[in-house]
Amino acid sequence: MKKIIFINLSILFIFLMSSSLAFAQATGPASVYQVTVTKFELYNGTSWVTASSGNSTVMDIASVDIGAVVGNLFSGLSVPDGSYTQVRVTISDTFTISGNDGVGNYTTAATGGNPVGSVLTAIAANEAECTISLPVAQGDPNPNNLPTPLTVTGGRPSHRITVNFNVSNGIQNQGGVLYPNNPVVTMTMTAI
C-alpha cells in the first residue's frame, strides 16, 4: 500500500448520502451541518479499494475551516498504485443541524429521546442545534464519478481534489418538521 494525500479538500463526499428526503415544503440555509463519515472508498475499474474505514470522523460541512479538518483526515491514507475513476463514502444516519427553512422557521434543540426531526420556532434568536437520526437505506452508498481519473504512481497522486459544499438550502421543512437537505456539491481536480 502506498500513501496518498488529498490536499485542499473542503469536505468529504457527503453527496453520496443514500437516502433522499422528498417533498420538501421549503428550504433554507444551514449554519451547522454535521455528518459522521465511517468509510471512504475508491474504484479502480474492477473493485472498490477502502482508503479509510472504522474511524468515525464528525465534520461540520457548513464550517468555514472544514478544509483543515478534512486535510488531516486524508493525510497519509494508504491507497495502492493504480487509476481511480469513482469514489463512495459511507456516512452515519445521525446528523446535527442548525438553521432555518427560508420562510422563518428555525431549528430548536432536541428535547428527550431520539427525534425524527427538529420542531420549529419562529424566533431567530431561539435557533439551536438539533441532532437527528434519519432512516438510511442499507447497502452500499451510490458511487460518484471523479471529474478526471486519479492516478497513483509510486504513492503519489496525479491530482489534488477539492470538494466544496453549498448548504444554502441545507435545511428543509417537511410537514412542520425540519430535516437536513442534501447539499449541492462541486468537485474539482487540479493536476499536481
Chunked mean pLDDT (size 10), the chain, 192 residues: 35 34 72 88 94 80 67 67 92 89 86 55 85 70 88 89 85 86 84 88
pLDDT reported for residue 99: 92
**What pLDDT is recorded for position 90?**
86
CB atoms within 10 A of CB 159: 19
Give residue 137's pLDDT: 58
pLDDT score of 25: 80
Q: What is the pTM of this model?
A: 0.77
Which structural domain range is residue 134 located in? 2-191
- If one counts the domains in the chain, the total is 1
